Chain A
Amino acid sequence: NAGVTQTPKFQVLKTGQSMTLQCAQDMNHEYMSWYRQDPGMGLRLIHYSVGAGITDQGEVPNGYNVSRSTTEDFPLRLLSAAPSQTSVYFCASSYSTQGNEKLFFGSGTQLSVL
């Protein structure tokens, strides 16, 4: 059982380049999210999805796009990378939103924008 798989694990970009961070889960979870983690700031929500075809913005959505064409995949696109987007990115998924249903996290993508 792979859980939540993120690729790549590391990436270096130049300012202005675009790229897509991949996230896939094999648990048939409806809910998926992208967070970024910066020193001293914890994890902040970028975008989230409550099902295929449905996405919405989180706390820090600027500079990022998402789509959810299937239940399994939730890619995060950086259209024109900026140094401020240097961060560790986590994808997460959850089956439901009630009770003690926890988030399952991917292993993270460390992104550096030069």
Chain B
Amino acid sequence: EVQLLESGGGLVQPGGSLSLSCAASGFTFSSYAMSWVRQAPGKGLEWVSAISGSGGSTYYADSVKGRITISRDNSKNTLYLQMNSLRAEDTAVYYCARCPGQWPNDAFDIWGQGTMVTVSS
């Protein structure tokens, strides 16, 4: 079964750091680009970042550029999101999502269940 499972969410103080992981199973992970999408409580969806299948190309929303780093370890079938200098407005459920191709300019066909990040003092 194709599956994505996020972990690493939690409560962090403003200015703090957090690292999210997304474990993939059921497909050839390195063949697919991946993205992170977040959803603030009661709000809509916001694309955060994407990475190509090889990991050689990365893309970021302006709202997180310079504070967030996306990476992947294809030998471990795992996607990561390192978040630094966190702000209250980063509070959201973070979803990892698969793009059906090597490049992220495609629809997100598989989504994880999400992990909640709360930035608060």
Physical interaction between A and B: no
